[in-house]
Chain A
Amino acid sequence: MTTAVDTILEKVADLKEKPKGAYNIRVNGKSEGRKSTPNIMITPKENSEGIDIHVKPGTKGEYVHIPVVVDGSGYTELVYNDFYLGDGCDVQIIAGCGIHNDGLHLSQHDGIHTFHVGKAARVKYIEKHYGEGNGSGERVLNPVTVVNLEDDSYLEMETVQIEGVDSTKRVTKGTVGKNASLVVKEVLMTSGTQSATTEFEVLLDGAGSSSNIMSRSVAKGKSRQVFLSKINGNNACAGHSECDAIIMDSACVQAIPEITANHVDASLIHEAAIGKIAGEQIIKLRTLGLDREEAEKAIVDGFLRT
C-alpha cells in the first residue's frame, strides 16, 4: 500500500525505491535509511539535528539524495545539513521536503543547508517543497540555503514549490569567489491564503564572479508573494536577477530589487515583471480548441515548467 511517506518521497525527490548513491531519508525527525559511498560520507551531527555530507575532491557523476518527510500533525523541527564539497568534484544533490498534515496542529520543517563548494567544483542542487493533507493544521516550510563558492566553482540550484505549503520563507545567501558562478532557478506557485517570501542575497566578491537568479511564480486566490533580491557587486563581476510573476484572482505579488555596485567593473541587472495572463494568450489557445480553463492551465503549467 502506498503511504503518505511514499507519496511525498516521490513528489519531492522522484523516489520510488531506495536511491542509488549516497542518501539519508529523514521521516519525522528520524533517519529511515542512510548510506554513504566510498566518495561521499554522510554522518549525523553530534550536537544538533542534521547531517554532515563530505564529498571527496574529484568525485564525479555521483548523486546524493536527502529528502525529508513530516507526516505528524504538530511536529516541528529545525535541521542543519552541511555539505563539504571537495575541490574539482561534480555531483548532484537532491533534497526536498514534504509535509502531510491531516491534523489540527502546525507542522513545520526549517532546514538550513550550508554548502562549502571547493575550488573548481560543480554542483547541481535540486530541492522541491510540497504539502498535502486534509487537516486544518498549517504546513510551514522555511528553507535557508547558504552557499560559499570558492574560486572557479559553480553551483546551480533548482528550487520548486508548487502546491500545498501554507507559509514559507525561503532565504538563499551566496558568497561567490573568483571566476565562480551561482545560478538559481526558482519556481513557485501559491493559492488560497498561502504566503511565500523569497529572499536572495548574493555577494559577488571575486573577480570574474557571476550570478543569475531567476524566479517564475504564479499567485492564485488570495495568496501573497514577496520576492526580494539583493546582489552586491564587490569586484569585476556580472549579476542578474529576474522575477517574473503571473497574478490571478485577488492575489498580491511584490518584487523588491536591490543591486549595489561597489566596483566600477560590476555589471548588475534586475528585471521584474508582474501581470495577469495576457488576454491574447488565452484567445490564441482558444482558437486552437481549448476552453478558457484549459487555456489558463496550459499557460500556467508552461510558465512553471522547470
Chain B
Amino acid sequence: MLELKNVSYEVQNESSLQKKEILRNITMVIEDHTFVVITGPNGGGKSTLAKIIMGIEQPTSGRIFFDGKDITNMDMTERARLGIGFAFQQPVRFKGLTIRQLLKMAAQKDLNTEQLCEYLSEVGLCAVDYINREMDGSLSGGELKRIEIAMLIARGVKLSLFDEPEAGIDLWSFNNLIRVFEEIRDTHHGSVVIISHQERILDIADKLIVVADGGITAEGSKDELLPSLLAGTQTCKFYQREAVR
C-alpha cells in the first residue's frame, strides 16, 4: 500500500527567485491490488506526483509510506528495490544498450529468448526483431514506448506507475494495453497507477484521482466521477463562444 500524507512540492524560479507550488498538500492512498488512474488537465502536477512517488523528485514537505515504511528520504534506487516501478512518459534512449540488456536489467536476472519474447509479445512486438537492437533513435516513438512498458512488466513490482502509456502507441490495440494492465494487477497482486487522459483507460479504473492546479480536486470510483469528467470539458472563453454559435 502506498500512502502520501500532506505532500507538497515547490520549485524556485531561477530568474525571479520566486517559489512556485507544483503540488499542494496531497494526501492519498493507493491500496494493494487496485487499478488507479490519475487524470486531470495538462500542467496540473500529475507527472510530478508520479516522480515524487518514484523518488525522482523529493517533496518539499509531507511524508510518503510504502507498505507502512516511511520512504520519504529514500532515493529512487532504494524505492525501485523496494518494489516501485515507473514507465516514463518519454522513454529514454541509450546508444549501445540493447533491448535484451535493458529487459535483463529490469528483471534483475538472466532472461532467455523465450522469456524476452513473453515480455515483448505482451506489448505487441516480436522478440526476434527487437532483442538485439539498441534502444536508440533507430526505433520509432511507438516502439520505444512499448519497450518502456515491457521493461516495467519485466520488473514485476508491487507498484507500477505508468505516465501516459497510451501516447504514441496508436497502432497497437488498446484492448491489448488494457489487458496488460489488468494482468499486472492480477499476476503480481500489485497496484497499477496510470496517468492518463484516455477515456477507455479511465473506464477500467477501480479508482480515479483528479489532480488539477497542484491538488487533488476529486477522488472516487469511475461511476461517481467519469460522467462529470467527460461533461465538464474546460475551455477558453473564445472556444466557448465558438461552440455556442
Contact = CB atoms under 8 A, between A and B. Distances in A.
Interface of A: 216, 244, 278, 280-281, 283-292, 298-299, 301-305
B80 A288 contact: yes
Contacts of B245: none
Contact of B97 (A216, A278, A302): A302
A243 to B, nearest CB: 13
Interface in B119-161: 151, 155
Contacts of B75: 286
A289 B156 CA distance: 12
B77 A304 contact: no
Contacts of A290: 77, 105
7 contacts: A286-B80, A287-B56, A287-B76, A289-B80, A289-B81, A298-B97, A301-B96
A301 B86 CA distance: 24
Contacts of A287: 54, 56, 76, 80, 85-86
B69 interface: no
Contacts of A216: 95-96
A291 B95 CA distance: 20
B98 interface: yes
Nearest to A289: B80
A280 B77 contact: no
B108 interface: yes
A291 B80 CA distance: 10
A157 B73 CA distance: 50
B94 A289 contact: no
Interface residues of B, number: 23
Given A283-B56, A302-B98, A302-B101, A289 B88 contact: no
Given A286-B75, A286-B77, A288-B80, A302 B54 contact: no
B204 interface: no
Contacts of B54: 287
B77 A291 contact: yes
A282 to B, nearest CB: 9
Given A288-B80, A301-B96, A302-B95, 9 more contacts: A244-B95, A280-B92, A287-B54, A287-B85, A288-B155, A290-B77, A292-B77, A304-B96, A305-B96
Given A287-B85, A287-B86, A290-B105, A302 B94 contact: yes
A303 B95 contact: yes
Nearest to A277: B94
Most B CB within 10 A of own CB, among A278, A280, A287 = A287
A299 B85 CA distance: 20
A299 B94 CA distance: 7
Given A303-B95, A303-B96, A305-B96, A289 B108 contact: yes
A299 B88 CA distance: 18
B55 to A, nearest CB: 8
Contacts of A278: 92
Nearest to B108: A289
B105 A285 contact: yes
Contacts of A286: 75-77, 80
Contacts of A302: 94-98, 101
B111 interface: no
Contacts of A292: 77
Interface string B54-71: 101000000000000000
